[in-house]
Structure formats: C-alpha cells, structure tokens
Amino acid sequence: MLSATFCHIPAVGEKTERRMWEIGVWSWEDALLSPFFEHSFPRAFVFHVRSFLEKSQRRLERGDAHFFKEHLPSRELWRLFPEFRHTAVFLDIETTGLNPPYDYVTAITLFDGYHIKTFIHGINLGEFLHEIMRYRVIITFNGKCFDVPFLERSLGIRLPHVHLDLRYILKSLGLGGGLKACEKALGIHRGKLQGVDGYTAVLLWRKYQDGCPEALETLLAYNVTDTVNLERLMVFAYNEKVKRLAAPCPPLPEPRKKILVPYQVHEEILDEVFHERLRMLSGKGEVF
C-alpha cells in the first residue's frame, strides 16, 4: 500500500491521490517513469512529486518509519503495516490498576507474528526495554491512551516507535467498543478465557502474590491471547481499509488461525477469582 500512496507528499491530498489512481498512476514507479503522468499534470507538480518520491524510496529502503509518520495524515498511518510488518510488534500489558506510579505493570507480551515473549514483574521485566527497541512499529489496542503512557511513566522509559492503535483504526471502520467487542464482531472466540477482563487480571495477580503459581500462568495466558489476537484485527482492518479506499493493492492473507499459547488456563483458579469478584460486587462493589 505504501508504494501506491501519494497523500504523504506535501500539497498532495487524498483527492489528488485518487485522481492519480484513476488515470492509471498506480504506484511510485508509475509516477517516476510513466510519460502519461507527465502529460496529465502540470510540469511543476510532476517535478515536485517525483522529487519527493525519490526521497520516499530512499527512506523506505532505510526502514525509516518515522519519515512516513511525519508526512502521512495520522488517520492513514495504517498504510505502513505491510512494508514495516517485519519490524512491527503487537503489544499488550497487564497492571495492578490505572494510576502509575502507585500501580505498576505486572505483565507485558510482545508478539511479532512468529514469536511470543512475555515479561513479568519481579522476574524479567527489566529485559523489556532492550527487546522492544528491536522494533520500529508498535501495534496496540487503546495503547495511545493506556499501555504506552503507563509503560513510560511506571518504567521511566521513552518509547519512540511509530504507534498504530487499533482502537481508532477499527472505530473508523464502524467497530467501536473495547477489544473483546471488536473480537466478537469478527467472530474471534476466547474459549476458556471467555469473560476474563482487566479486573480479573488484577485479581489473578493478587492470587499469584498470595502463593498461587497457577494464577500467574492463567494471567499470562490471558495477556498473550490479548496480544496475538491483535494480528487478526490488524490484518482485517488493513484489508477493509484497502477495499473501502478502492486502492490498487491486493489484500493481505489471513494470519494463522491458531497460535500456540505457551501458558495454561487453570479453570479452577478462574472459578475462584470469579467467585471472589461476585463477593466484592455484593459488598462494596468494583473499584477498577
């Protein structure tokens, strides 16, 4: 998609981009080499476009995602995904609450489409920064409002990555609500983790701190599931965007249906946590 994109060029809007597609200028290569392009637009415009596309090609060859972030309209950042997929990572976190530094990160999962890596408070959380800096693009759901600012404040770090937040990309396609609602709309089922949410994750962490290792494993299974499901949402969003834009690009193939989650869901622990949650609801009520 990126090599068919022209709206990142200064003074080239989406209407002009669409007009270029309509006359058969489908790609950067067409714009750089086609005599037809020269005859269809003013000479100064053609020179401007070609000059910027040569610069774009060099930046793409260098893997400079920030160049395109700086020049693309923010609502069009999704176009980066195929070209930068090899250096993108899906990210999701679990915490003890909403307010760092009083609350803290309990678990982080990174998934690059092939490998799952988890980072756990008190075990290997210190390795997270080194690992995340191997990537140029972060993909989250609601990470702009929660995950990334929470990580930066609680860990005292700065994440300079290009950030694609699926909450806003999917909302632009008419899919509102939280992550679970979007998954449900697309027919993604969670099996044994059905009904587990962020507050359940808080209770699982507390149970682990009380000496229950099965609670930690269940928490990690939930965190990993949140993260790997983002890939399916991202591919869906990209393909739907391309289709609605009528862009000259093929759709991406569906990712693997089943990703092996390396942690077990302990249903008996979930039952205990759900019962505890019901007791809290019948008493003082939920506060998270």
φ/ψ of 46, rounded to 5, equals -60, -45
Q: Do the Cβ atoms of 273 and 204 come closer than 8 Å?
A: yes
Closest of 113, 141, 117, 140 to residue 129, by C-alpha: 117
Return the DSSP state at 254.
P
Q: Is residue 20 part of a domain?
A: yes
Q: Which amino acid is located at 57 in the chain?
A: Q
Q: What percent of the chain has pLDDT over 90?
A: 84
Per-residue model confidence as pLDDT tens digits over 100-146:
888 999 999 999 999 999 999 999 999 999 999 999 999 999 999 99
Q: What is the pLDDT of residue 177?
A: 92
What's the total number of domains in the chain? 2
Look over the chain and give the mean of its residue pLDDT values, rounded to a whole number: 93
40, 119: one domain: no
188, 272: one domain: yes
Q: Is residue 169 part of a domain?
A: yes
Q: Is residue 181 part of a domain?
A: yes
CA–CA dist 220, 201 (Å, integer): 9
Per-residue model confidence as pLDDT tens digits over 179-230:
999 999 999 998 899 999 999 999 999 999 999 999 999 999 999 999 999 9
Is the torsion defined by CA of 237, 238, 240, 244 positive or negative?
A: positive
197, 243: one domain: yes
Residue 234 belongs to what domain range?
A: 84-282
Return the DSSP state at 252.
P
Q: Do the Cβ atoms of 206 and 277 come closer than 8 Å?
A: no
Per-residue model confidence as pLDDT tens digits over 57-68:
999 999 999 999
Per-residue model confidence as pLDDT tens digits over 152-171:
999 999 999 999 999 999 99
